[in-house]
Amino acid sequence: MNYEPVIGLEIHVQLKTKTKMFCGCPTHDTAVAPNTHVCPICLGQPGVLPVVNAQAVRYGMLMGLALNCEIAEHSKFDRKNYFYPDLPKAYQISQFDLPIAINGHVDIEVPGGEREVARIGITRAHLEEDAAKNFHETGASTLVDFNRGGTPLIEIVTEPDFRSAKEAKIFLQELRLIARYLGISDADMEKGHLRCDANVSLRLIDDQGGIVGARFNPKTEVKNLNSFKHVEKAIEHEIKRQTKLWETQTPPMISTTRGWNDTQNRTEEQRSKEEAADYRYFPEPDIPPLELKDLADELRTKLPELPAVRRARFQNEYALKPSDARQVCDDPLLADFVEHTFSELHAWLIALPELQETEASVLDHEKQKLGRLVAGWLLSKLGGLLTERSIDVRTMKITPENFAEFITLIATHKLNNTAGLKVLNAMLDDGSDPSQIMESQKLGRVEDEGILAELVTQVISNHPAEVARYKAGEDQLLQFLIGMVMRASEGTADSGIVRNMLLVELKSE
Ligand code: ADP
Ligand code: ZN
Ligand code: MG
């Protein structure tokens, strides 16, 4: 028998609209003075009328569609009543029984996990407004900044379908990426655009994985996790804590709410669900119901290519390894760069005279070689140079056209790896063209056999001891001699040619 973790997430994503959910105030993202982006509506003064932000509805529906949800034909807003200083109306406008989206799912890949692929059910997604922000000052006072109050949110509730902290983290990261692809949120956890509550319980399973006893047990809800690391650590801690309770025959009897204490590295009890507020939901009388069918049909046609589809396409079309495709597609701008680079490269490939009228399999093989070259040069080599210079694909001076040309120089052996790195560095310096750099800095491969033969002879006569040892049977010294010739050519010789020339020379001596 084993304890199986059962985990469900509730996620809030701040929508990147220009104005708030129900008024014309600018949404608060950059540093502005507290309580400047406010008006009678978002301050909850009597007699005002909220007006729904159409862009927020579209953004929320796009998310619902991206999560494979059914979009409600009829939806409405409700009042969720509770009293707290961050909520001036003493109710939050949210959605209760008719959310904009229900019954979706997202497939995640969990490399090295117990399940390689997991389908996570989406219970619902609904629109609501954010609360203001409390600042608990030292001493007894609490200050409230209402700038955030009324910012549009979409809340996404998953089924309890996760079986590990890792699965939950991967799902959240995928959700962040989906939001970015849709352009509806930056979904930056550090900035509070993406916030997560994790619900965790355990259940007993037998050795065949069959559930023993209750299908679901009382859960703990860990509130306000604001980084991927916290989500993972809090769930792991909660699994350990509850396992101990089960092992001592005292499993949780009621659902509770806990908080994550990052300094103590543990979850802490906040309140039990039995005492939780009764929100007395009722329909918001000031906002007409939403009729969403036509808009849903329109938005379905406008859905961009989503990360999972793009990753699969990059693997198929560009012959990228799954891990490389993932790395590239994690950054939409990097993915655009790669896409542009390959379209140049494939155009170049198809136009090559020697590839005219060849079989498709030959072309495929060449495309695979280009895929490996681009992955190697872009992700490891250029990636390393960018890190050294603290810049990224957004700020670097290399265009996809120039990068594609650079790859063709490598692919046709006009540049070897050593010289290639020098060219790449020079391209980063001023954005210039790789062929020009190669010529002006004389970095092109030394193809002139005469020059190479001279270098080979020089190296042999300068290293009589090593040559003697090689001839006495120390084969590994060949590598040393190749290295010496390469150095003499300042890295521009082709090491294969050098090797052959050395072998011939050493034999004939
Ligand atoms: P609540 O009564 O707390 O509102 P819900 O049924 O609305 O609970 O579910 C809230 C979240 O908790 C969802 O993400 C759901 O998947 C998850 N959840 C529900 N029951 C469990 C359970 N027994 N263990 C873990 N997660 C659960
Ligand atoms: Zn306002
Ligand atoms: Mg609930």
* pLDDT score, position 416: 85
Instruction: Express each pLDDT in 361-376 by its tens digit.
Output: 899 999 999 999 999 9
Residue 46 Cα to ligand 2 middle (Å): 13
Answer yes or no: is pLDDT of 269 > 70: yes
Give CA–CA dist 501/488, Å, rounded.
Answer: 15
CA-CA distance, 366 to 85, in Å (whole number)? 64
Going by CA atoms, what residue is nearest to atom 7 of ligand 1? 157
Q: How far apart are CA 38 and CA 387, in angstroms?
A: 41
The answer to whether 119 touches 158, Cβ cutoff 8 Å, is no
228 plus 317 within the same structural domain: no
Looking at the fold, whether 288 and 328 belong to one and the same domain comes out as no
Residues 345 and 476 placed together within one structural domain of the fold: no
| End residue of a domain, out of 300, 323, 342 | 300
- Pocket of ligand 1, beta carbon within 6 A: 6-10, 157-160, 199-201, 216-217, 219, 221
Does 332 lie in the same domain as 406? yes
Q: From 172, 89, 158, 164, select the one nearest 120 (Cα to Cα).
A: 158
Question: Count of domains in the chain?
Answer: 3
Q: Which atom of ligand 1 is nearest to the CA of 200?
A: 25
Confidence label for 497 from pLDDT (cuts 50, 70 and 90): confident
Task: Give the residue from 279, 300, 321 where a domain finishes.
Answer: 300
* Ligand 1 atom at minimum distance from 10 CA: 14
Residues 135 and 64 in one domain: yes
Asked whether residue 66 falls in the same domain as residue 153, the answer is: yes
Nearest atom within ligand 1 for CA of residue 9: 14
Query: Do residues 245 and 163 share a domain?
Result: yes
| 278 CA to centre of ligand 3 in angstroms | 12
> Which residue, by CA, sits nearest to atom 13 of ligand 1?
8
The pLDDT value recorded for residue 507 is 84
Looking at the predicted structure, is the pLDDT value of residue 146 above 80?
Answer: yes
Across 147-173, average pLDDT? 97
Give yes or no for residue 18 having a pLDDT over 60: yes
| Residue 368 shares a structural domain with residue 405 | yes
**Mean pLDDT of the region 416-427:** 91
Find the 17 Cα to ligand 1 centroid distance in Å: 29
Q: Quick one: which atom of ligand 1 is closest to the CA of 157? A: 14
157 alpha carbon to ligand 3 midpoint, in Å? 8
Residue 288 CA to ligand 2 centre (angstroms):
19
Distance (Å) from CA 148 to ligand 2 centroid? 10
Ligand nearest to the Cα of 160, by number:
1
The yes-or-no verdict on residue 181 having pLDDT over 80 is yes
In the reported structure, the alpha carbon of residue 205 is separated from the centroid of ligand 1 by a whole-number distance in angstroms of 19
Query: Of the ranges 52-61, 92-101, 404-413, 444-453, which one carries the lowest mean pLDDT score?
Result: 444-453
Question: Which of the residue ranges 25-39, 165-179, 268-282, 408-422 has the most confident prediction, judged by mean pLDDT?
Answer: 165-179
Atom of ligand 1 nearest to the CA of 273: 3
Ligand positioned closest to the Cα atom of 162: 1
Q: Whose CA is nearest to atom 17 of ligand 1?
A: 8
Q: Are 501 and 452 in contact (CB under 8 A)?
A: yes
**What distance in angstroms lies between residue 409's CA and the mean position of ligand 1's atoms?**
57
Give 333's strand partners: none
Q: How far is the CA of 152 from the centre of ligand 2 (A)?
A: 12
Q: Which of 12, 199, 200, 279 to mutate to test the pocket of ligand 1 (most atoms within 8 A of CB)?
A: 199
Do 345 and 418 fall within a single domain?
yes
Q: Which ligand is nearest to the CA of 168?
A: 1
**How many angstroms does the Cα of residue 123 sit away from the middle of ligand 2?**
31
Residue 478, domain CATH: 1.10.10.410
pLDDT at residue 36, as a whole number: 94
Burial of 77 (0-12, 13-18, 19+ CB in 10 A): buried
Same domain (yes/no): 432, 454: no
Is the per-residue pLDDT at 274 higher than 60? no
Same domain assignment for residues 474 and 353: no
What's the pLDDT at 150?
Answer: 97
What does pLDDT average to over the chain? 93
Q: Which atom of ligand 1 is nearest to the CA of 161?
A: 16
**What whole-number distance in Å separates Cα of residue 194 and Cα of residue 157?**
13
Helical axes 307-318 vs 165-182, angle rounded to 10° = 90
Confidence of residue 200 (pLDDT cuts 50, 70, 90): very high
Tell me: do 283 and 241 sit in the same domain: yes
Phi, psi of 114 (to 5 degrees): -60, -40
Q: 355 or 449, which is more confident?
A: 355
pLDDT band at 78 (very low <50, low <70, confident <90, very high): very high
* Residues spanned by the domain of 61: 2-300
CA of 22 to the centre of ligand 2 (A): 7
For tokens 């009042």, the residue is: 79
Nearest ligand, measured from the Cα of 252: 1
What ligand 1 atom has the least distance to the C-alpha of 218?
Answer: 23
d(CA 502, CA 505): 5
- Whole-Å CA distances, 227 to 9, 123, 177, 338: 14, 23, 15, 29
Shortest-distance ligand to the CA of residue 123: 1
> Quick one: pLDDT band at residue 275, thresholds 50, 70, 90?
low
- Nearest atom, ligand 1, residue 199 CA: 26
Neighbouring C-beta atoms of residue 373, cutoff 10 Å: 17
Nearest ligand to residue 88 Cα: 2
Task: Give percent above pLDDT 70 in the chain.
Answer: 97
92-113 average pLDDT score:
96
pLDDT of residue 498: 87
DSSP codes, 19-73: B-SSSSPBP--S---TT-S--TTTTT-TT------HHHHHHHHHHHHHTTPEEPS
106, 177 contact by CB (below 8 A): no
The residue whose CA has the least distance to atom 24 of ligand 1 is 201
